[in-house]
Every structure is written in C-alpha cells, then in structure tokens.
Amino acid sequence: MKKQQLWIGLLCLGILLGLWTTFKVYTVGFSLYAKTDVLVWTLPLSTYIFFSLTSAGLAFISSFPVVFGIKRYEVVEKRTVYLEIAVLLGSFVCLLLHLGAPLNVVYILLSPNPSSPLWWLAVLYFAYFVLLLSAFWRIHTGHISKTLGVLIFLIAIFTSTTLGWLLGMTDARPTLNASFFSFYFPLTGLASGMAALILFSMVYLNLSGQAVSEERSALYNEFARLMGIVAGMVAVLFLWRTISGGISSTAVEYGGFKHMIGSIPYNIEFWLGLVIPTVLMLIPTIRVTIWGKVTASVSLLVGMFAGRLEFVLSGVVRPLGQMAEGRPEIVSYMPTVYEVFVALFGFSVMLLIYTIGERYLKLEAVPE
C-alpha cells in the first residue's frame, strides 16, 4: 500500500511539474524550449511520435484476436486496448505542449485542408480515440466488437503511415523525406507496442503475486519471441537507412543525418533499442524469464524513445536557406529542463491513467 501511494505521489509530482511547465510556456513563450528558428521540432514532438507509434503498435496487437481470429490473444485484449488509450492520452499531452496556439485547432474543422497530412492525422487521431473508448467500453462490459476492432486496426495503419507521409512530403529535408518511413514507422510502432504490453503485463504479474497459468506463460513467451523478431527486422532496416542515407549518400541535404550517426540518441536506439532486445529474446533461456522480458522490453522502449528524437533531430539540425546565415553547418541541441518536463508530463499522465485502470477496471478480465 505504501509503495502504491509513493508511486501515485511520484506520478502526481510529474503532472504538477507538467502543469507548471504548461503555465510557463503559455505565459512566457516557447523560448523556454531549447529551440532556435532552426530547431523547430525537438523533444516534445519526438515524445509525441514515440507515444503515438507505440499506441499504433498496441492497436496492431489488439487486432490479432479481433481481425485475424487468433483467439489465444484474447486474454490480453482488455489490457492492450486500455494501454492504447493511456498511451494516446500521453501523446496528446506532448502534442499540446508542442503547438504554439492549441486553441486554434478548432480551425482543423472550420478550415480544413485535405491536402495536408497533418490535417488527416488530426482527423484520424480524433476518430481513433473515440473508437478506442467505444471498444474498451464494449470489452469492459464483456464483449469484443469485431467492427470496432477492424476500424481500429485500419486507423492504426493509417495513422502510423500518414506520419510517414507527413515527413515524406518534406522535399526540402530528404533526411525526413522517405516513403521508407511509411513502413518503418508501423514496424517500429509494433516493436514498441509489444514491449509496452510485455512490460506492463510482467509488472502486473510481479506486483499481484498471482500464479501464471501455463497457457498465459506460453503466450507471453510467444510475445517475447515476436518482439525479438520484430526488433531484429527493424535493426536490418535501421542499418540500411544508415547506409543509404548516411554513409553512401553524397547529397548535402543528408548532412543532418550524417551528423546524427554516432550521436548518443543514435547509439541508444541501435544498441539498447534493437540489438539488446533482439539478442535477449532470441535466447530461449532468457526469453522465458520475467527479468529477461522486462529487461528486453525496457531496453527497447528506451531505445525507441531515443530513436524518435534522433529521427526528428536528423531533419532539423542542418539549417536551410537563409536560416543558415551566421549559423554553423550543424546546430547542436540539448533539451532544456522544460522540455524534459513535457516528456515527463506525458509519461506521468499515461502511467497514472494506466495505474487507475489497473486498480479499478480489472484489466486481466477476458471478454467473451
């Protein structure tokens, strides 16, 4: 009980720091972030991308029993859908603190621009959130809705690939511009979604002290193996991205990505996010242990978080056009404490919502 109170207290502290940051940002201005006219997208946006792709990955997992009829995954359906909601709300918090004039989002409805991928993302996320709430309500009342499941699956594909389109449209920044990201994003999202589900399930099992049935144990081992395979696939794509965009390319526009290769976020992404989880989860004796699964999933999530930052920075650290006047060829970046608080805010909101669900909504329940 004491541990739980401490946990809730820590999350509330994170939220209070986030609220204070919100107040400061909207009164003082965005100059509180480590931003210049060059670094227009930084940690708050990369955290949003991390959350939104993790949520899409969870949606893919929740589609296994509903869309593809793999019934044995139904036992984790409720937890997965609830986790999707919590993660999505975390992403909304970070997005809100990225936008300069969030009250104007009403013009997404009043003055729509369908040629903008950002407009589509906003519409899709709104629909996604409503559908998720409806799906969870159905599951909570003991039923799984196939229609909602299929719609959520389709929207998750569209949100994660539209994010690829959004960045693929930026002809001026080839580092971000690659249709490549339209499949890299869903795949990495699936990896982080799996890691999140494994991590939260393992923590629940450990804290609840419940005996795990053989069937469930086999299911978690299967998830862990899948996570290792997906992380391995991503590692291959990651290396190809490094070779094609960073090592073999002679285009000056790739200077930002070339600079990021070898940086701290790049190495965290590769070693912690991809290599370690792949290796750990492909060794059967480690895969079956709780500590092995927890280590691999935490490592993957930390790596993916750093990876999203590496990706965003690789697109903005090299100034373009007149912005390059009087500036170095590559602009360095170190997040400010306010940016860190924005990320902390997102995590605290997500974890608090999840903790409340775990406490009151019986996430272990299996729908009919």
Partner 1 sequence: MPRYAMVIDLQRCVGCGSCSISCRNENNVSEGVYWSHKITETSGKFPNVRYHYIPTLCNHCENPPCVRGCPTQAMHKLDNGITMHDPNKCIGCRYCMINCPYGVIYFNWKNAHSAWKAENSLIKGVTSSPAEEVRKTGGKGIPYYNPERNVTLAGIRPKGVVEKCTFCDHRVNEGKLPRCVEACPADARIFGDLDNPQSQVNQLLGKFRPFRLKEAVGTEPAVFYIRDFSAAGYPRTKGGV
Nearest Cα to Cα of residue 203 among 365, 367, 363: 363
Return the number of the residue (24 or 146) whose C-beta is nearest partner 1: 24
Near partner 1 by CB under 8 A: residue from 164, 315, 335, 367 = 315
Can you tell me whether residue 323 is helix, strand or coil?
helix
Distance CA 86, CA 51 (A): 10
Q: Say if residue 115 is exposed, middle or buried (CB neighbours under 10 Å; 0-12, 13-18, 19+).
A: exposed
Minimum separation from the CB atom of position 32 to partner 1 (A): 9
Near partner 1 by CB under 8 A: residue from 173, 258, 287, 308 = 173
Return the number of the residue (166 or 219) whose C-beta is nearest partner 1: 166
* Helical H segments across 97-213, by residue range: 107-110, 117-140, 146-168, 181-208
Return the number of the residue (315 or 357) whose C-beta is nearest partner 1: 315
Instruction: Output the CA torsion 11→17→20→21 (10° steps).
Output: -120
From 51-59, 146-154, 165-173, 257-265, span contacting partner 1 (CB under 8 A) = 165-173
Minimum separation from the CB atom of position 151 to partner 1 (A): 23
Q: Can residue 337 be called a binding residue for partner 1 (CB under 8 A)?
A: no
Fill in the per-residue mask, 39 to 58: x = in contact with partner 1 (CB under 8 A), - = not in contact: -xx-----------------
Number of residues near partner 1 (by CB under 8 A): 45
Whether the CB-CB separation of 170 and 179 falls below 8 Å is answered with: no
Whether the CB-CB separation of 96 and 26 falls below 8 Å is answered with: no
Distance CA 74, CA 192 (A): 20
CB atoms within 10 A of CB 191: 32
**C-alpha radius of gyration, the chain, whole number:** 20
Q: Can residue 287 be called a binding residue for partner 1 (CB under 8 A)?
A: no
For residue 241, what are the CA distances in angstroms to 178, 182, 257?
10, 13, 10
Q: Can residue 111 be called a binding residue for partner 1 (CB under 8 A)?
A: yes
Within residues 145-164, the interface with partner 1 by CB under 8 A covers none
Return the number of the residue (4 or 104) whose C-beta is nearest partner 1: 104
Minimum separation from the CB atom of position 182 to partner 1 (A): 16
Q: Can residue 325 be called a binding residue for partner 1 (CB under 8 A)?
A: yes
Within residues 23-42, the interface with partner 1 by CB under 8 A covers 26, 28-31, 33, 35, 37, 40-41
Q: Can residue 328 be called a binding residue for partner 1 (CB under 8 A)?
A: no
Minimum separation from the CB atom of position 270 to partner 1 (A): 25
Whether the CB-CB separation of 15 and 348 falls below 8 Å is answered with: yes
Q: Which residue type is seen at 258? A: K
Whether the CB-CB separation of 188 and 308 falls below 8 Å is answered with: no
Minimum separation from the CB atom of position 329 to partner 1 (A): 13
Fill in the per-residue mask, 69 to 108: x = in contact with partner 1 (CB under 8 A), - = not in contact: -----------------------------xxxxx-xx-xx
Length of the chain in terms of residues written: 368
Return the number of the residue (113 or 244) whose C-beta is nearest partner 1: 113
Minimum separation from the CB atom of position 208 to partner 1 (A): 42
Whether the CB-CB separation of 263 and 323 falls below 8 Å is answered with: no
Distance CA 123, CA 230 (A): 29
Distance CA 252, CA 353 (A): 45
Question: Footprint of partner 1 on this chain (CB under 8 A)?
Answer: 26, 28-31, 33, 35, 37, 40-41, 98-102, 104-105, 107-108, 110-113, 115-119, 122, 166, 169-173, 176, 315-316, 319-325
